[in-house]
Structure 1
Amino acid sequence: MTSAFTWINPDQRDFYLDAIDTALEKGMAAKEVVCSITTGFRNVPSIRTAPGLNPYHASVADVGYGFDAVRGTILRLREGESISHAKNMLVFELDTLRISEKQLTPNFELAVKDAKPDVFYLIEQSRYLNRQIAEAIKEAISLGQAFLGPDWEIIRAKIQNIQAIPRL
């Protein structure tokens, strides 16, 4: 594997990478379902014209891209690819997921603001799935912080200016 992780026992490194990947896999499953539900929202007249639907759908897609990015980096590391700045990539990708997750709830609530009672079940199911996505991201970040220790905050401080660019 990459020289970026020589400071840690390979078994411990693999443990953390596997745990992060597993957390994101759970979040990805919830994201896939919520994405299907929100696509269906376009067929519900009381939600179709809601002002937050497109930003919410974009936020869900943004989270999906983030999941793919982290999981892709982990896969590349598992396959032994030497990635310069691998730690930086992992922090950037996980922390960007944190930012994306913060957009889900406000955009969702805007999208369903004037929904009719006949779709409340779908709305509650989506809220539940959004919480699962958030929990998976928080778990993955917590594991990343434990994995990288003090390097996490040092790297995060360096990348904050890049992340200040508007996301949507």
Structure 2
Amino acid sequence: MAEVEVLQLLVSPAHRLAGRPSEGPSPGPSDERVTRVEVRRELGLVGDRYYARPAHRNAAVTIMASESLPAGTDLRHTRRNILLRGVDIDSCVGATISLDSGTGPVVFAVRRPARPCAWMDVTIGPGAQRALRGRGGVRCTPLSNGVLTLGPATFRVVAGAEVAS
């Protein structure tokens, strides 16, 4: 078990990084970051663009470590959903993890890496896609219902891969 911090949460109703990166992101709300998210088993984050989408059920939620990002970068640049500090989330592929921000544990199956794309060079800066290889976060399936909030949280590997905290 490790003490971590949930730094940011992002629920985006629209897929803003579609098309060619050279055309820039699609317009949308100036800030889709929230202080609280509702997680639904096998469906994702309520209100998010991937919620209950069959093609994304096995990877509806993305989690990233803040330690992988340059200073000043946040979830609006990466389009990940959960930004944690204090755990090497990229080493958890294949594991089942639990995250509890004080409202009860939410369990996720960590399915695969969230590979950075060419958009990272546009939203973060030149060279970001290459720099984030192997550190772009993970794509997960929620295995339980629950709520996550910003602030201190407890992180635990329930089954599978070992993690360095």
Bin of the TM-score, shorter chain as denominator length: under 0.3
- TM-score when scaled to structure 1? 0.27
Q: Which is richer in strand? A: 2
The structure showing larger relative contact order (alpha-carbon pairs under 8 Å, at least 6 residues apart) is: 1
- TM-score when scaled to structure 2? 0.28
Q: Which is richer in helix? A: 1
**Greater C-alpha radius of gyration:** 1
